[in-house]
Chains A and B, each alone.
Chain A
Amino acid sequence: MQQAQQGSRQAYADLIRTYYGSVYMVCLGYLGNPADAEDTAQEVFLKGYTKIRTLRRPEQFEGWIRRIAKNESRNFLRRRRKETSLFSFPAEIFAAKDCLETSYEELQSAIAGMPADLRVPLLMYYFDGRKADHVAQALGVSRISIYRRLKEAVGLLGEVLRKGREG
């Protein structure tokens, strides 16, 4: 970390390897589109590198870089001046395993129907190995509020699934 702050590319590349996933997930959650998420993640790490010397508490790198990701994603949306495009998982994921059932599509459309402020915590919660504290820290909101949003997101998921089945 310190090496990265002193300008070591190699050290920063290690940071990219470690944190790429969580940054990408934030971007995907907001932008909904894998290609945009990838571009934005690159932008985020570039920005991170140019600013890393200003980070006074190196142990907070993860939260810091994720907050940059959140802001960059939202700037991206603002520039594009439209709502999040329809949410989709990267297509490779579907190709990677053929054990997938149609229910995955059901799940995807349920997640796509959520507002971004519920979707992002939900995706991050699972991606982070179910640590709500982590998610809260990364998004810069309180633990209680992240818990509430997660509950709302799961509730909404249930609601959509229930309706989908009935309808």
Chain B
Amino acid sequence: MKDSCRDIRELLAERLLGPLAPAQLERLERHLEGCAACRQLAQRLEKHDRYLSDWSQMMRAYLSDKAERAAEAFLAAGPIRQTRPLRWGWIVSAAAVVMAGAAVWLIQPSRKDIEFRHELFKGKEIVSEPAPADRISAVPVVRNQGQLEEQTKIQLRQARYFFETKNIPALAALFQTGTQPARLAVLDYLAQINTPEALRVLEDLQKQSAPPPAEPNQHSAIVPRAGSVPGAAKKQTEPPAAAVEPARPVWFDPNAVDADNWRTGVLGIQVIDAVTGEPIPGAELKFDIGPKINIPKTAFTNQFGRYELNYYESKIAFLDVEIRKKPYLGAQLYWGMNSPVDTLVLPLQRRVSLRQGCAVGGRVETIDGKPVEGAAIDFSFHRTGREEEYPLVEDAGLKTDADGRWELQTFPCDLDYGTFDMNVQHPEYVPEKPFSIQPLPEDLRNKTFLVRMKQGLVISGQVTDSQGRPIEGARVFAGADRFVQGVKETKTDADGRYRLTNCTIQNLTITVTARGYAPVLQELSVEENLQNVNFILSPGYQVLVRVIDSKGYPHQVQTDAMGFCTLEDLPPDEVRFSVRKEGYAFYHGYPITASEQNRYEIVLYPTGKLTGRVLDAQTGLPVERFQMTPGIDWNNSQQPIWQNSQRRICTNGVYEQLLYYQDVGWAVQIEAEGYWPAQSKVYINQGRDIVEDIFLAKERGPAGTVYLPDGAPAESAEVYVVQQGRSLALENGYVRDSTRRAARTDSEGRFELPPVSPPYNLIILHEVGYGEISDEAFEQNLPITLQPWGRVEGTVYQNNKPAPNQKISLWGIRSPMRR
């Protein structure tokens, strides 16, 4: 197998970090022999590896000199007080922090203080008084929620370590100095462990602790207590609010992309027996996380029934955990983002109770009462909230036996009717009713639940050429696209006959392809007693295509040395082909009409860039940080579709977009905080850099206040801008498109949006209600009051029978779609 240059570049990197295995080395050398580009890269990397080593050596020499001077300066410095051990050890080793907000019992050093130390260290003879007793350390005060959370995690992790290594004095000391959320988390953790020892420690700690604050998450609710820091006078330096930055409406989150990659999150999962409350050791946990980052695939709980998952916190889109332990019924945990303004915050701890399952069963038979053997049964459970737990039913490979019976030993005992579906599949039969099956839980437990199936419908017929001769081996399948997979598909036999079995009543597109013939598509509504559906194929057209680059050189991707290739079996009408080669902009649909022209020449251009600076329109100075959204003008209408999924943050004042499609127009949209959004013109790739500087005009965007129906300010409402003529898709009150951006109101209901150009509507979503306002009304400063959500209820009938689980879509004339 030939290695790609990409793989080889990996190997090159690996080689710098350590010796390669002989097999890898051989692969590398073999590739380098044949590939000049990689060889060159290898040489350059080696050179720079040498440079870096040389440079490190020089740095070491340079720094040993500096080190000497630093040591001397240190020795010449005046008195420096050392912190006493143990009491503050936790704080230092945990990167040193206490609480934001109220009740700071460590004091932040003043700026002057820091400068003073600095001077001290530079060797000037300044003799200072010993620090007062309450001036304990130069520990910075936690400035924001993120730091506080990180601190909490670190302390909780330490606490767990101490408890599991039975170092109770250390745990107590940590508890005394910990942040309030950490203290609560420690208590919570001990309560979860729930062994006699843990409970004893818990009690001891609770005795030490102040009466628990009413709201555990409000870190400002902390009260410093006498005795929590022995010997240290507590002093409050600033009003609590000053230390916490006020929450701003979320729009341009400056930390959104360059979030701290070093931060790791911890999720402690404890598995317990739902009846006895005892921890379950040795339960198997299986993880699936998105995007794919490096976490264990499987793990087992320890003797406390716990497992700790460490992950990079800033990146999680979803986490799925499967928990299994015989003889319990397994469980599945799922966390995912529900709305685009959400960031997924996993809890620090999660407890899962497993129970023993109940045996269930049932029977599958035909409508005339004969057992159906080999029907595959599986179950799906409906999703409800944001953080979810489902039963994990081992239904993989579950099939009915010769009597049509099936049984499952572990199934949830306490499910309600309608909260889960049962699916039954069989190669010959289809369920009697065309919608999903919702069994009654009692019937399942009594093993009497009966599913009736009937023979599936059959589409059959013959495929012949225009003279009536049968065509053998033609591919007949449901779907309008040759790339469709996993659908009903068959091939014709020697008589050109085909048979698609197990169809249901529906509309289908049947496609027939065969070597040497043009493909045929036919739309079909499938019903009972369908007559033969025959297809007549006519010979396919041939087209000779030559692919060259913009300088006229031929290309050899699937084409021959001169860039020629022949396309066969084409239908007479227009077909679009995508043409691509690495390094060139590609055609996403190059039209070829075989009946009109049999030679085509396709010219490829190198992938060019649309680039330029982003400047302030008034001052002409660069705007360094902005968001860029590429737009693609699919049909050259000069109205690009903004590719929100490709939006990115640029920080160096220059934007850059690769124009990787040849047959469409490109543009970019630039948004920066405090400016009107601006757009470039629409360009077609020309194989080189296209430069357009973009000027941004300063402006504030719409800002206002949202009120609840009862007149109170609406906190955490999501405000969306919907340009006129566009719609916003909702699903039960949430926006489904995760690329849509919204502002979120603060505790007083205020929000602020970046500048938008009218006409537009604002859509406001909140748990209790919904609001919509046009730009004109908004500009008149009308207050925005939410209306309670409406409900639409009714019953859907299909063939005169109620049809459960049908998707219902609602379209408004002006208002957005709901579903």
Assess whether A83 is in contact with B70, with CB atoms less than 8 Å apart.
no
* Any B CB within 8 A of the CB of A80: no
CA distance A6 to B608 in the complex (A): 65
Assess whether A107 is in contact with B75, with CB atoms less than 8 Å apart.
no
State which residues 53-85 of B face A: CB under 8 Å. Answer: 53, 55-56, 58-64, 66-68, 70-75, 80-85
Q: Which one of B86-94, B342-350, B398-406, B459-467 is at the interface?
A: B86-94
* Any A CB within 8 A of the CB of B415: no
Assess whether B70 is in contact with A54, with CB atoms less than 8 Å apart.
no
The 8 Å CB contact of B13, one of A46, A97, A154, A162, is A154
Q: Map CB proximity to A onto B34-49 as digits: 1 under 8 Å, 0 otherwise.
A: 0000001100110110
> How far does the Cβ of B131 sit from chain A's closest Cβ, in whole Å?
10
Q: A50-B137, A132-B17, A161-B44 are in contact. Are A43 and B262 (CB under 8 A)?
A: no
Assess whether A17 is in contact with B67, with CB atoms less than 8 Å apart.
yes
Q: Which residue of B lies closest to A94 (CB)?
A: B58
The 8 Å CB contact of B88, one of A51, A110, A158, is A51
* Any A CB within 8 A of the CB of B409: no
Return chain B residues, CB-CB under 8 Å to A154: 12-13, 16-17, 45
Return chain A residues, CB-CB under 8 Å to B71: 13-14, 16-17, 20
CA distance A55 to B86 in the complex (A): 8
Return chain A residues, CB-CB under 8 Å to B61: 96
* Any A CB within 8 A of the CB of B294: yes
Assess whether A157 is in contact with B95, with CB atoms less than 8 Å apart.
no
Assess whether B70 is in contact with A45, with CB atoms less than 8 Å apart.
yes
Assess whether A158 is in contact with B294, with CB atoms less than 8 Å apart.
no
CA distance A51 to B85 in the complex (A): 8
Q: A17-B68, A103-B47, A154-B17 are in contact. Are A54 and B92 (CB under 8 A)?
A: yes
The 8 Å CB contact of A150, one of B17, B58, B85, is B17
Q: Which residue of B lies closest to A6 (CB)?
A: B82
Total A-B Cβ pairs within 8 A: 171
* Any A CB within 8 A of the CB of B14: yes
Assess whether B9 is in contact with A46, with CB atoms less than 8 Å apart.
no
Assess whether A165 is in contact with B44, with CB atoms less than 8 Å apart.
yes
CA distance A107 to B107 in the complex (A): 44
The 8 Å CB contact of A46, one of B44, B117, B264, is B117
Assess whether A42 is in contact with B9, with CB atoms less than 8 Å apart.
no
* Any A CB within 8 A of the CB of B441: no
Return chain B residues, CB-CB under 8 Å to A165: 40, 44
Q: Map CB proximity to B onto A35-53 as digits: 1 under 8 Å, 0 otherwise.
A: 0001101110111011111
Q: Map CB proximity to B onto A125-140 as digits: 1 under 8 Å, 0 otherwise.
A: 1110110100000010
* Any A CB within 8 A of the CB of B140: yes
* Any A CB within 8 A of the CB of B121: yes
State which residues 85-122 of A face B: CB under 8 Å. Answer: 89-90, 92-93, 96-97, 103-104, 107, 110, 115, 117, 122
* Any A CB within 8 A of the CB of B777: no
Assess whether A53 is in contact with B85, with CB atoms less than 8 Å apart.
yes
Q: Which residue of B lies closest to A24 (CB)?
A: B63
* Any B CB within 8 A of the CB of A10: yes
Q: Which residue of B lies closest to A140 (CB)?
A: B262
* Any A CB within 8 A of the CB of B567: no
Q: Map CB proximity to A onto B1-23 as digits: 1 under 8 Å, 0 otherwise.
A: 00000000110111011100000
* Any A CB within 8 A of the CB of B261: yes
Q: A50-B138, A161-B44 are in contact. Are A151 and B64 (CB under 8 A)?
A: no
The 8 Å CB contact of A20, one of B17, B53, B58, B67, is B67
The size bracket of the interface on B is 35 or more
* Any A CB within 8 A of the CB of B515: no
CA distance A116 to B685 in the complex (A): 34
State which residues 1-20 of A face B: CB under 8 Å. Answer: 7, 9-10, 12-14, 16-18, 20
Q: Map CB proximity to A onto B650-671 as digits: 1 under 8 Å, 0 otherwise.
A: 0100000000000000000000
Q: A42-B118, A64-B93, A127-B60 are in contact. Are A16 and B41 (CB under 8 A)?
A: no
Assess whether A21 is in contact with B63, with CB atoms less than 8 Å apart.
yes
Return chain A residues, CB-CB under 8 Å to B86: 54
Assess whether B85 is in contact with A54, with CB atoms less than 8 Å apart.
yes
Q: Which residue of A lies closest to B88 (CB)?
A: A54
Return chain A residues, CB-CB under 8 Å to B53: 126
Assess whether B60 is in contact with A41, with CB atoms less than 8 Å apart.
no
CA distance A2 to B390 in the complex (A): 55
Assess whether A21 is in contact with B70, with CB atoms less than 8 Å apart.
no
The 8 Å CB contact of A24, one of B66, B117, B138, B651, is B66
Return chain B residues, CB-CB under 8 Å to A50: 80-83, 137-138
State which residues 464-487 of B face A: CB under 8 Å. Answer: none
* Any A CB within 8 A of the CB of B52: yes
Assess whether B82 is in contact with A46, with CB atoms less than 8 Å apart.
no
> How far does the Cβ of B118 sit from chain A's closest Cβ, in whole Å?
7
The 8 Å CB contact of B67, one of A16, A39, A90, A115, is A16
Q: Which residue of B lies closest to A82 (CB)?
A: B624
* Any A CB within 8 A of the CB of B96: yes
Return chain B residues, CB-CB under 8 Å to A47: 138
Return chain B residues, CB-CB under 8 Å to A161: 41, 44-45, 48
* Any B CB within 8 A of the CB of A147: yes
Q: A54-B89, A148-B294 are in contact. Are A107 and B48 (CB under 8 A)?
A: yes
Assess whether A103 is in contact with B48, with CB atoms less than 8 Å apart.
yes
* Any A CB within 8 A of the CB of B51: yes
> How far does the Cβ of A128 sit from chain B's closest Cβ, in whole Å?
8
Q: Map CB proximity to A onto B254-276 as digits: 1 under 8 Å, 0 otherwise.
A: 00001001101000000000000
Q: Which residue of B lies closest to A48 (CB)?
A: B92
The 8 Å CB contact of B62, one of A46, A93, A145, is A93
Assess whether A151 is in contact with B14, with CB atoms less than 8 Å apart.
yes
Assess whether A141 is in contact with B17, with CB atoms less than 8 Å apart.
no
Q: Which residue of B lies closest to A42 (CB)?
A: B121
Assess whether A158 is in contact with B41, with CB atoms less than 8 Å apart.
yes
Assess whether A45 is in contact with B45, with CB atoms less than 8 Å apart.
no
Q: Which residue of B lies closest to A9 (CB)?
A: B75
Return chain A residues, CB-CB under 8 Å to B63: 20-21, 24-25
Return chain A residues, CB-CB under 8 Å to B75: 9-10, 13
Return chain A residues, CB-CB under 8 Å to B51: 103-104, 107
Q: A13-B74, A93-B58 are in contact. Are A157 and B294 (CB under 8 A)?
A: no
Assess whether B62 is in contact with A51, with CB atoms less than 8 Å apart.
no
Return chain A residues, CB-CB under 8 Å to B80: 46, 49-50
Return chain A residues, CB-CB under 8 Å to B9: 155, 158-159
CA distance A55 to B61 in the complex (A): 29
> How far does the Cβ of B332 sit from chain A's closest Cβ, in whole Å?
27
Q: List 17 A-B contacts (CB under 8 A).
A: A9-B75, A13-B72, A16-B74, A21-B59, A42-B118, A45-B121, A51-B88, A51-B137, A54-B89, A83-B651, A92-B62, A117-B262, A126-B56, A127-B56, A144-B294, A150-B17, A165-B40
For the complex with contacts A53-B85, A157-B45, 13 further pairs of A-B residues with Cβ separation under 8 Å are: A7-B82, A16-B70, A20-B71, A21-B59, A46-B74, A54-B83, A71-B95, A93-B62, A107-B48, A126-B56, A130-B17, A155-B13, A158-B13
Residues of B within 8 A of A (CB): 9-10, 12-14, 16-18, 40-41, 44-45, 47-48, 51-53, 55-56, 58-64, 66-68, 70-75, 80-86, 88-89, 92-93, 95-96, 117-118, 120-122, 137-138, 140, 143, 258, 261-262, 264, 294, 651
For the complex of A and B, the 10 pairs showing the least CB-CB separation, nearest first, are: A20-B67, A54-B89, A13-B71, A154-B13, A21-B63, A53-B85, A126-B56, A16-B71, A117-B261, A126-B52
